[in-house]
Amino acid sequence: MAFDKMELKDIEVWDGNFAAAQALRQCQIDVVAAYPITPSTPIVEGYGKFKADNYVEGEFVMVESEHAAMSGCIGAAAAGGRVATATSSQGYALMVETLYQASGMRLPIVLNVVNRALAAPLNVNGDHSDMYLGRDSGWIQLDAYCPQDAYDLNFIAFKVSEDHGVRLPCMVHQDGFMTSHTAQGVHTLSDDVAYGFVGDFKPMNDMLDFEHPVTHGVQTEEDWHFEHKARQHNDLMTKVLPKIQTAFDDFEKLSGRKYNIVESYDMDDADVCVICMGTSVETSREVATEMRAKGIKAGVVGLRVIRPFPFFEIAEALKNVKAIATLDRSSPNGAPGMLFNETAGALFNTQARPMLSGFIYGLGGRDLTKAHLVNIYKELQANVDAGKVTTQLQQFIGVRGPKLAFL
């Protein structure tokens, strides 16, 4: 595909939104169908500017809602195009119906999700409510901790999603405002190198291949629906993790930047650790280093891949830890947090039976401070010293007023 090149320096100062928009430009999307919503608007707005300035070919389609945006992406992908868009929060919620359509039809769409709280009450700041809403929609989900990750993981997303052995849509998540609007140094790839990594789009089962007609959007009832979900879709998801790891390895050879399905920091001899996602990973790493200087063997485990959930990789990372805190940035509304539940599931049938505590934090953009994490690590160490969980299993951290806990 011919396109005008944009000269980039090795290091650019970009926020997460602009990093994602640049990655989409370099991937040369055929169709971006978009409806703006805070805080993801600058991704599609930036891509629209690239289109207006003739840096990209293809189509930029402005639609009437986020439901229509994903519907447009589904039609374009079914027709045989490389397709992407972005959304957040309420817009993501409006897309949910179509998310299941995209994955069930095996359409390799890339969706940048700038995570933001779900209403009510209305809130435009970042938490993981929307991320959690879509975890059973059949999409691959990757998690960025910073603008560099938001840039790199888009290339990974296209590489994995468009693999003919996968053909499933993929989300790239980043924290609203904390990543999306925070500028940092981003090491860039040249246009040729970036596009070369992703490669030319190779359609499969596209509606416009009239020599090989296919049907999209079929209906199945009890005769075949179960088999489609269990034997095809679920079986595909179980085979995705090796494909992701291969893409990570290939990207490391290209860029020197290493990604892992589960990111472990100071875990070789850790007695206590937190497991978390997004920008909280970097904050937790800094505090863990400080806690080690005070004699507490602290570590951090960060999820890079949320779906498919890496059960065995999580179990391996946590096998020698004595006490764990899961940090969920979404209100469970009467149940344990997702990370608590799934970490417990990963460890239940293993020989390691560490003490597990769950913390709900950062709802609606509330800061997770270093002081919060210091208290968490101290509580985990107290559990180790006592040989049992000394507080309630699930508690809110950083909420004003008396301590709020349940379970």
- Which CATH number covers residue 323? 3.40.50.920
Query: What percent of the chain has pLDDT above 90?
Result: 84
Give the pLDDT score at 174: 98
Q: Is residue 302 part of a domain?
A: yes
Is 250 in the same domain as 280?
A: no
Q: Is the dihedral of CA 334, 340, 343, 348 positive or negative?
A: negative
Banded pLDDT at 4 (limits 50, 70, 90): low
Q: DSSP readout, 326-394? A: EEE-S--SSS--HHHHHHHHHHHTSS---EEEEEE--GGG----HHHHHHHHHHHHHHHHHTS--S-SE
Give the pLDDT score at 2: 45
Is 246 in the same domain as 317?
A: no
Give the pLDDT score at 231: 81
Of 95, 113, 127, the residue nearest 43 (C-alpha): 113
Is 301 in the same domain as 166?
A: no
Each residue's pLDDT tens digit, 86-110: 999 999 999 999 999 999 999 999 9
Is 106 in the same domain as 207?
A: yes
Is 238 in the same domain as 334?
A: no
Of 330, 323, 327, the residue nearest 369 (C-alpha): 327
What is the C-alpha separation between 130 and 66, in angstroms, rounded?
Answer: 14
**Number of H helices and number of E strands within the chain?**
14, 16
Q: Is residue 260 part of a domain?
A: no
Q: Is residue 1 part of a domain?
A: no
Each residue's pLDDT tens digit, 53-75: 999 999 999 999 999 999 999 99
Domain boundary among 255, 286, 302: 255
Tokens representing 49? Answer: 């500017």
User: Side chain identity at 106, as an amino acid letter?
Assistant: R
Is 22 in the same domain as 167?
A: yes
Tokens representing 131? Answer: 């991320």
Structural domain of 325 = 265-406
Give the helix/strand (H/E) hosting 253: helix 240-255
Q: Is residue 139 part of a domain?
A: yes
Is 282 in the same domain as 223?
A: no
Those residues with Cβ within 8 angstroms of residue 132's Cβ, 6 or more apart along the chain or in another chain:
330, 338
Of 322, 323, 342, 347, the residue nearest 332 (C-alpha): 342
Q: Beta partners for 170?
A: 110, 140
Banded pLDDT at 3 (limits 50, 70, 90): low
Domain boundary among 207, 222, 255: 255
What is the C-alpha separation between 187 and 230, in angstroms, rounded?
Answer: 41
Is 281 in the same domain as 208?
A: no
Q: DSSP readout, 229-252? A: IIIIIIHHHHTHHHHHHHHHHHHH
HSE-CB at 19 with a 13 A cutoff on CA atoms is 33
Is 141 in the same domain as 225?
A: yes
Q: Is residue 5 part of a domain?
A: no
Is 312 in the same domain as 182?
A: no
Domain boundary among 225, 255, 285: 255
End-to-end CA distance of the chain: 57
Is 159 in the same domain as 199?
A: yes
Q: Is residue 158 part of a domain?
A: yes
What is the C-alpha separation between 135 and 163, in angstroms, rounded?
Answer: 21
Is 209 in the same domain as 320?
A: no
Q: Is residue 6 part of a domain?
A: no
Q: How many domains does the chain have?
A: 2
**Is 404's pLDDT higher than 80?**
no
> Are 337 and 328 contacting, i.e. CB atoms less than 8 angstroms apart?
yes
Q: What is the mean pLDDT of the chain?
A: 94
Q: Is residue 179 part of a domain?
A: yes
For the segment 289-316, the average pLDDT, to the nearest whole number, is 97
Give the pLDDT score at 370: 97
Tokens representing 377? Answer: 């690590």
Banded pLDDT at 407 (limits 50, 70, 90): low
- Residue 356 main-chain phi, psi, to 5 deg: -125, 125
**DSSP 3-state assignment of 110?**
strand
Give the helix/strand (H/E) hosting 32: strand 31-34
- Which CATH number covers residue 208? 3.40.50.970
What is the C-alpha separation between 205 and 395, in angstroms, rounded?
Answer: 49
